[in-house]
Copies of this chain bind each other. A is one copy, B any other.
């Protein structure tokens, strides 16, 4: 395990105490100025966030590294205090987490697209005309039934993700995960034959070629989805848990399976999340006595950003702002408000911009002169600009969860 010097030190210095840390995470919070020259966070009427920023210390955090746009996996790993470049989470594994598929440590997972192939086996549509999820489910049930036990000792799972997207999981002994993508990311050419980087992965690639051939036989009569393209073969990463690294007793309150899956990867407890955003403080209160690290995930800011809906993003921020006092009533020692990445409404996509962040900790904070919570205000914050994976260690320090280093 290629631990950095810092990570080794953090692990050795960790200690357990009763101090409680809340991470309130607005997915995709960071943004760019809209037509009025302000961002959704700057535009929002959010007096509680502004007060916390004024009383606390602010900064900007790069989720992975400067200029790198993170997917949801790396963004969350950064928030959880891991260097996302050190613990890559493959597309197949994320897809499995996203549909709550119970991936076992030795499983090999890959994402696939249904695609359309012409008579010569060349790709004419990499997304099979974006078939419906229902259509996907019909095809997937067929494949799952025919392929599941057809390959000897290796059990094959075929699962629907959504629309043209699916998940392939191989379970058995001696599999390798260093298998190349079969999606050439182009039309007019045939899919790439699966290939493997090492002996075990070469055997696995041979199995994948057989599976792909059998899929083509089974789907030969389909007008649109008559083939599959595979991407992101991987295994569940072997990530040391937050308990091992920091002696934390962490819990995640998140609705969406992908974030729940990511939290599970690092050993968080996962109570059922409330259906309504406004019920988040109640859900937090219910688990308050049994944990010391509380990860609260608000998805809707990211959704609004992806949809290019500036006004909706503002409304989500305002809605959360109104219930933060209920979180404060529980008496956290440290409250961090941050994000896994930026999702500017004008870009309708994740971006590389650093995420605005505030850390509130009445007993131990050295305040800066920031008096409101916003992207530009945070530039002048005392936390400066740093890697997102530093944020959790800083929060732990404010909760006195590290011993002194050296005498």
Residues of A within 8 A of B (CB): 5-6, 8-10, 13, 30, 32-33, 39, 60, 64-74, 83-86, 88-91, 94-95, 111, 232, 347, 349-353, 364-369, 375-376, 379-386, 390, 393-397, 402-407
Contact = CB atoms under 8 A, between A and B. Distances in A.
A406 B89 contact: yes
B376 A369 contact: yes
Contacts of A351: 364, 397
Contacts of A13: 68
Contacts of A402: 67-69, 352
Contacts of A350: 404
A166 to B, nearest CB: 14
A123 to B, nearest CB: 20
A394 B71 contact: no
Given A5-B85, A60-B382, 13 more contacts: A10-B67, A32-B365, A33-B366, A66-B390, A66-B394, A67-B397, A68-B397, A71-B405, A84-B405, A351-B397, A366-B376, A380-B380, A385-B385
Contacts of A6: 65, 68, 85
Contacts of A366: 30, 32-33, 39, 353, 375-376
A406 B352 contact: no
A91 B407 contact: yes
Contacts of A30: 366
Number of copies: 2
B385 A384 contact: yes
A366 B349 CA distance: 15
A368 B33 CA distance: 11
Contacts of A85: 5-6, 8-9
Contacts of A379: 368-369, 380-382, 384
Contacts of A407: 71-73, 89-91, 94-95, 111, 232
Q: Is the interface of A mostly helix, strand, loop or mixed?
A: loop
Contacts of A384: 60, 379, 384-385
A232 B351 CA distance: 44
A382 B85 CA distance: 24
Nearest to A377: B369
A69 B364 contact: no
A36 to B, nearest CB: 13
A266 B380 CA distance: 36
Nearest to A70: B405
Given A6-B65, A68-B402, A407-B232, A367 B84 contact: no
A30 to B, nearest CB: 8
B382 A376 contact: yes
A402 to B, nearest CB: 6
A383 to B, nearest CB: 7
A262 B375 CA distance: 37
A84 B404 CA distance: 13
A83 B393 CA distance: 18
A167 to B, nearest CB: 12
Given A69-B405, A71-B405, A72-B407, A9 B64 contact: yes
B393 A66 contact: yes
Contacts of A60: 382, 384
Contact of A70 (B74, B376, B380, B406): B406
